[in-house]
Structure 1
Amino acid sequence: MPGVEALIEAFADRILLRPRHDLPNLVDLAGAVARLCGVDLKLTGHAEDMVEAIGAADHLVLTLADGVGMNMVETLPEDSFLPTHLHSDMLTVFPSTTSVALTSLTTAQWPAEHGVMGWWTYLPEMNGVATILQYTDRGTGADLMKRGIDPERTFPVKSAWSRMTRDGLVVVPERIKDSVYSNYFNGGLKSFGYKSLSEAVNVVSERVLNASEPTFTYLYVPRVDSLAHLHGMARPEVLQALVELDNELSRLHSAIGDKGRMVVTADHGLLDATAAQRHTLRPNREIQPLMISPPSGDARVMYLPTWSWAGDRMRRYFDRRFGERFAVIDLEEAIKLEMLGPEPPSDVAMQRLGNQIAISTGPDMLEYNAARGPGRMVQLNCHHSGLTPEEMRIPFIVA
């Protein structure tokens, strides 16, 4: 079965892409944006280059188009807005998923530092796994606020946006405007909940045109990602949403003209998974005794909290059941490869990780489900959080 040697070989052949702090990446962009908005923080050379590429502007608009990685941008006609203004591509963080990437965006730190490890993150204080963006218990759906789980403990690294000196506004879909995670992510900035993308663009353009002081505006657009999960990447609904996004951002650019600067990026790309490539891991007599607590992670990465004596047995189980579809590596090996960032994991991150990590070597995904019937994620047609180029490559667009 594939192990760390197979991963290293896949990285060398660029079949899979390892997160790299020595190449332009999402954390660099996060630092560049924060610096341009008055936050005093140390930047890498790549982040300094991004500051120069974006340039000085009284009004900065950062759009994060969820799921619109390079493989989606490259489907658009060359004369479309996004390809026309593409500065370069860069790498996202691992796991390549929204909860992890957005936390890196707002903190300008790697996952190993901020401790949000996936869609499902193990929280020792609840001795269980949280669905982190929804801020609920994965197993029961219970509201973690009602259970007394303090967000300041869950998200120990404060948003760098709280230190911005510009007038800031976060523009997100109305349904998530006041969520626990949004309130953390915003770093104290004002927020606006939109009902349609056209409304959001109108709000942002009017804000820039009428501003009397320097501004920072963040626009989050999840529609392409949401539709791709349901239907698959190539369906007309998804492509239509991508074209709408391109058209609306072009309209925003035309509206604000030379009064502002736009930056567009993504949290991750997307990769379809057929029914045969979607798997469920259930507690059973063979693997349950091997684990200290339930696994966590995401669609294409699973943190396995195995006992110290159980690593070989867990590897054999994965080998027998999944063959080449997943690589099981020790946490120490992942740290050595700097997969979660260039620095060793913080104490918080270490408490949330397993002793082993199962990583998809391609499109296959795996959901842990202790309940009867199929889980929600295994029913979706498109996923992310893995290491494939489709998931790891994201755009750096400046207009």
Structure 2
Amino acid sequence: MSTPVTPSSDRVAPSPVSVGPLDPVAPRYGGGSLADVLPSALAVLGVPGAADLLGLAPRLAGVRRVAVLLVDGLGWYQIPTAAPHAPTLAGLAATVGRPLTCGFPSTTPTSLVTLGTGTSPGAHGVVGFNVRVPGTDRVLSHTNWADDPEPLCWQPVPTQLERARAAGVAVTVVSRPEFAGSGLTVAANRGGDYRGAADADELATAMLTALTAGTGPTLVSGYHPDLDRHGHLSGLDSEPWRAAATEVDGLLARLVDGLPSDAALLVTADHGQLDVPAADRFDFDADARLRAGVRVLAGEARVRYLHVEPGAADDVAAAWSAVLGDAARVLHRDEAVATGWFGPVPEEHLSRVGDLVVVCRGTSAVMATRSEPPMSSRLVAYHGADTAAEMTIPLLVVRG
């Protein structure tokens, strides 16, 4: 049986969130973000040079095995909604939970690579869900990415898993079988032995098996996608979403109960979500004012990247600002980079960001009902922007 680690300082204590769910939140790279989770885990395991940016090592002294579980869509602001259906989750959040931020944009591909590399999005270059391939009019969807562009070229930063393995740590990645070998998996998780798990039960079994397989330092990274999927399809607090929250709770209970005495479990997420009502939806394909001057539309509904015709940036920015009004901020690329949303952005990654970046406020979104897959515009919940509901994620720490 495992027990939560009771925090002994304000740095890791449960922290009340003092902003509203629709207020903007900046990513806290370097000590309070998803990028800091694996470096801190490696420091616990004694990997030379690993930075314990989250202050975990004093509380996890003697831990030789670390499991990191990322629950897709489990935002900090969604935990109270899930609590009636997920008592284990609620108890851990109340006793050993603290909020972190994901990176920007608050979307799955960006966050998976941020977790895996321990770096901000600007550094690793996976700066959105859909990104224009520089020098072309092609839009790369990172969730449908095989080997073009070549993953090691598109995302050249070594992963924390590679670093751990080089230091003698046994490293295993457990995720859905269909994700094995994908471009996104290679970009985020190269360096780990891959184990397929088709559902929550298989995920728990595979993670615990890998965690207990040897006697040396061990790192296991697991991924569970269903809460996010049901939020997208049915909305937050829908019956399918509640059932998915209950499933997450059972997964957590199994992992907590199965932890060896020299192990720790870190639970986090890639982003939160919010429902987008029909009245707050704009349609790029149905509004000639939004289409004018835009050569390539990328990003996703809550954060749009506009690659424009030469010399058209100011006119396009003015048109989008007029149409969207208070529903979004429209920034030129250099303005968006200067906010620090992406962290430092090297020259080779700059053109993956749009000439203009449109970040939705409140519960607004910009759909593309004809130029993107139809299902993308039929979802209920979305994420990607910088509101607290989307950006704020949990870190739960349990040790055996």
What is the TM-score normalised by the length of structure 1? Answer: 0.85
SS of residue matched to 2:259: helix
CA contact (8 A) 1:123 1:154 kept: no
Partner of 1:50: 56
* Candidates 198, 202, 209, aligned match of 2:201: 198
Distance 1:55 1:103, change over 3 A: farther
* Candidates 75, 94, 108, aligned match of 1:98: 108
Q: Distance in 2 between matches of 1:50 and 1:92?
A: 18
Partner of 1:158: 158
CA offset at residue 355 of structure 1? 2.2
Partner of 2:10: none
Give unmatched runs, 5+ long, in structure 2.
1-18
Partner of 1:26: 34
* Candidates 219, 225, 232, aligned match of 2:228: 225
Q: Distance in 1 between matches of 2:62 and 2:347?
A: 38
Identity %: 24
* 2:193 paired with 1:186: no
SS of residue matched to 1:63: strand
CA offset at residue 40 of structure 1? 4.2
Distance 1:285 1:239, change over 3 A: closer
Q: Distance in 1 between matches of 2:361 and 2:24?
A: 7
* Candidates 289, 299, 302, aligned match of 1:300: 302
For residues 117-169 of structure 1, give each alpha carbon's deviation from its aligned partner in whole angstroms, at most 9, with x where no partner exists: 1110111265421001211xxxxxxxx63xx5322222122222112131111
Distance 1:55 1:360, change over 3 A: farther
CA contact (8 A) 1:125 1:149 kept: no
SS of residue matched to 1:104: helix
Partner of 2:91: 84
CA contact (8 A) 1:279 1:378 kept: no
Partner of 2:15: none
SS of residue matched to 1:395: strand
- Correspondence list, 1:1-399, <5 A: 15-21=23-29, 24-37=32-45, 39-41=47-49, 43=51, 47-75=53-81, 76-77=83-84, 80-85=87-92, 86-124=96-134, 126-135=136-145, 145=147, 149-164=149-164, 165-282=168-285, 286=289, 290-291=293-294, 293-307=295-309, 309-341=311-343, 343=344, 345-368=345-368, 371=371, 375-399=374-398
Q: Distance in 2 between matches of 1:257 and 1:64?
A: 20
Distance 1:55 1:272, change over 3 A: farther
Specify the code of the residue in structure 1 equivalent to 2:273: L
Q: Distance in 2 between matches of 1:182 and 1:357?
A: 26
SS of residue matched to 1:212: coil
CA offset at residue 336 of structure 1? 2.2
Specify the code of the residue in structure 1 equivalent to 2:357: I
Q: Distance in 2 between matches of 1:124 and 1:309?
A: 18
What is the TM-score normalised by the length of structure 2? Answer: 0.85
Q: Distance in 2 between matches of 1:97 and 1:72?
A: 16
Q: Distance in 1 between matches of 2:48 and 2:136?
A: 35
CA contact (8 A) 1:208 1:215 kept: yes
CA offset at residue 347 of structure 1? 1.7
Q: Distance in 2 between matches of 1:388 and 1:273?
A: 13
For residues 227-260 of structure 1, give each alpha carbon's deviation from its aligned partner in whole angstroms, at most 9, with x where no partner exists: 1100001111111111221122112211224241
For residues 22-80 of structure 1, give each alpha carbon's deviation from its aligned partner in whole angstroms, at most 9, with x where no partner exists: 6611112232123334544463xx71513444444111110000000112222214992
Distance 1:34 1:375, change over 3 A: farther
Distance 1:246 1:78, change over 3 A: closer
CA contact (8 A) 1:278 1:378 kept: no
CA offset at residue 111 of structure 1? 0.8
Q: Distance in 1 between matches of 2:347 and 2:304?
A: 19
Give unmatched runs, 5+ long, in structure 1.
1-10, 136-143
CA contact (8 A) 2:142 2:183 kept: no
For residues 62-120 of structure 1, give each alpha carbon's deviation from its aligned partner in whole angstroms, at most 9, with x where no partner exists: 00000001122222149922232333111111100111111111111111111111110
Q: Distance in 2 between matches of 1:91 and 1:183?
A: 24
CA contact (8 A) 1:126 1:149 kept: no
Q: Distance in 1 between matches of 2:309 and 2:31?
A: 35
Specify the code of the residue in structure 1 equivalent to 2:220: T
CA offset at residue 219 of structure 1? 0.9
